[in-house]
Structure 1
Amino acid sequence: MTDASAIILFDGVCNLCNGFVQFVIRHDAAGRFRFAALQSAAGQALLRQHQLPTPAEPDSVVLLTNGQAYTHSAAALGILHGLGGGWRWLARLGWVFPRPLRDAVYRLIARYRYRWFGRQDACWLPTPELRARFL
C-alpha cells in the first residue's frame, strides 16, 4: 500500500501519536515514510491538497501514498503494512474486521487519547539525524 514517498500526517502534540511516529521510525529501516505534524504548515497544505478537513483538533492519523489519502484505521493498517515483515501480517489480520468496527475502535481511542496518554504544549521536534524525514 505504500510507496517510496509515503507521508504520515500526525497530531504533533499527542503523546500517543508521537509514540506511534517513533515506533514507525524504529521499524522503517528502508526509510519509506516521511512525516509532518497535522498542525504544521506542510501538514495543513497537504490536507488541503487532498481535500481533507483541517480541524482545530485532529482526530486521525493520515497516510498519503500513491496519490491517495487514508484516514483512521485504514491509515494505521496501511502504515503497518508498509513496514513489512511481521507488521504486514498484523495489518492483514486487522483488515479482516469490517471498517465500521475498526473505525469505531479507532475513534474511541482518538477521543480519549489526550486523557489516557497526555499531550504536549508544542509539536515534537525530530533529532538532527531524523530531520530530513520530516516536512
Structure 2
Amino acid sequence: MKQIILFDGACNVCDKSVQFILSNDPKANFAFASQQSTIGKELMAQYSVRDVNSLILLDGLTYYTKSTAVLMICRKLKFPWNLASFFQLIPTSIRDSMYEVIAKNRYRFGRKETCMLLTPDERKRFLD
C-alpha cells in the first residue's frame, strides 16, 4: 500500500515539495492529494487530522505531520535525500518549531492559481 501525502494545493512551497518528491521517488512509494480536494478532505476526516497547517503523511492506520512527516518521506527518497531521516535524532519540539516558521510564512512565496503540469505517470500518483 502506498503512503499518501496530503499537501496544501494553493501553496507554492508545497507544490515545489511535491515536485521534488516526484523526481526523487523512483519507486513511486507515494500517492498525493491536495488537502482542498474532495478526497483530501475525506481522508483528513477519516484519519481525524486536526493539524492542517502541515504536510500530512498517511501511513496505514496512522498519520504524521510537520517535521516528522517530512523526515518519514525522506526515508523513502533516493540517495542522498534519504540521509535526511537522521534528523529524527533531533527532538521533535525543535524540529517542529523550525517547520512551523516555514509553514507560517509559506504564502510569502506565493499562491498557486493553476495546477502543475504532470506527465501521465505522475498523474497516476494523484488521487481524485
Fold match (TM-score > 0.5): yes
Q: Which aligned segments of 4 or more residues in structure 1 are displaced greater than 3 angstroms?
A: none
Deviation by residue 1:85-135 (Cα, 9 ceiling, x = unmatched): 32221111x1121100100110111001111x111235x244251211000
Q: Is the 8 A contact 2:6 2:56 kept in 1?
A: yes
Distance 1:70 1:132, change over 3 A: same
How far apart are the structure 1 equivalents of 2:117 and 2:34? Answer: 11
- 1:19 corresponding residue in structure 2: 16
What code does the residue aligned with 2:3 have?
A: A
Tell me if 1:111 matches 2:108: no
Aligned partner of 1:39 among 36, 53, 67: 36
Tell me if 1:72 matches 2:69: no
Q: TM-score, normalised by structure 2?
A: 0.91
How far apart are the structure 2 equivalents of 1:60 and 1:96? Answer: 20
What code does the residue aligned with 1:14 have?
A: C
Distance 1:16 1:79, change over 3 A: same
Q: TM-score, normalised by structure 1?
A: 0.87
Tell me if 1:49 matches 2:42: no
How far apart are the structure 1 equivalents of 2:113 and 2:22? Answer: 22
User: Over aligned residues, Cα RMSD in angstroms?
Assistant: 1.5
- 1:102 corresponding residue in structure 2: 95
Secondary structure in 2 matching 1:85: coil
Which structure 1 residue ranges, 5 or more long, are not aligned? none
What code does the residue aligned with 2:91 have?
A: P
Paired residue total: 126
Superposed displacement of residue 20, structure 1: 0.3
Q: Is the 8 A contact 2:74 2:84 kept in 1?
A: yes
Identity %: 38
Distance 1:45 1:39, change over 3 A: same
